[in-house]
Amino acid sequence: MDGPAGAGKSTIARETAQQLDYSYVDTGAMYRAVGLLAEEQGVSLDDGDRLSVLVAGLDFSFPWVDGVLHTVVNGRDVSALIRDADAGMRASTVSKVPQVRAGLTERQRALASQGGVVMEGRDIGTVVYPAAELKIFLTASARVRGERRWKQLRSQGDDATSLAEVIEEIERRDHQDSTRAIAPLKPAADSVVLDTSKMDIPRVKRAILRLALARQEGVGPEPLGNTD
């Protein structure tokens, strides 16, 4: 499941994995964790050699704890530390470093090869696992994605960040992700593109589950039609 920031990938991928009884791999969290650890260890976010050494020593797991997905790196739960705006920008920066992408892509492919996995990120269908049985590209307008993120921040007690600031950050990340030289953000040629601007989460999830079950039965893509 690919797509830009704020399209609903994380929520929908998690819930889809739970309903299908699949494992869930949050590749974006892996890049966020690398950015976090690099910052903590004083490693420049564009120092490919040192970042390569850092990535080589990381072991990732994504356990469910009381129904909530956690990101654990080398036994340390970093879930709360990788979800602020700074973590997102650091992730976008380190994702442009070839050594980081190579190291994390290798781990992601190993996880995907086990089967029964919902993997979410920005280049899963195009680079990480182009052989995936089903590729979904979730998108939405920058304004809609900004509004969703802004409401989430307010629910978490952040009343200082304005809607305009959130939209500006999303547009900046979109540009950075889609214009990078390595694995730019784009839908795979054989992906199903879903614009979630006017779709709520239950409707999107129903559409994806229908597609997933069809693929399990060996049925190819079909028009989404009415997902209610």
Q: Which pLDDT tens digit goes with each residue over 17-52?
A: 988 889 899 898 999 999 999 999 999 999 999 999
Which of the listed residues 65, 81, 115 is the one where a domain comes to its end? Answer: 115
The domain that holds 98 is classified in CATH as: 3.40.50.300
Which of the listed residues 115, 148, 173 is the one where a domain comes to its end? Answer: 115
Read off the pLDDT of residues 53-69 as tens digits, 9 standing for 90 and up: 999 999 998 988 888 88
Structural domain total, the chain: 2
Same structural domain for residues 143 and 31?
A: no
Residues of the chain with pLDDT > 70, as a percent, come to 95
Which of the listed residues 87, 115, 143 is the one where a domain comes to its end? Answer: 115
Q: State the Cα–Cα distance between residues 70 and 191, nearest whole angstrom.
A: 28
Task: Tell me what pLDDT residue 113 has.
Answer: 85
Q: State the Cα–Cα distance between residues 141 and 171, nearest whole angstrom.
A: 10
Same structural domain for residues 44 and 13?
A: no
Q: Is residue 16 one of the residues assigned to a domain?
A: yes
Instruction: Evaluate if residue 220 carries a pLDDT over 80.
Output: no
Q: Is residue 105 one of the residues assigned to a domain?
A: yes
Give pTM, 2 decimals: 0.75
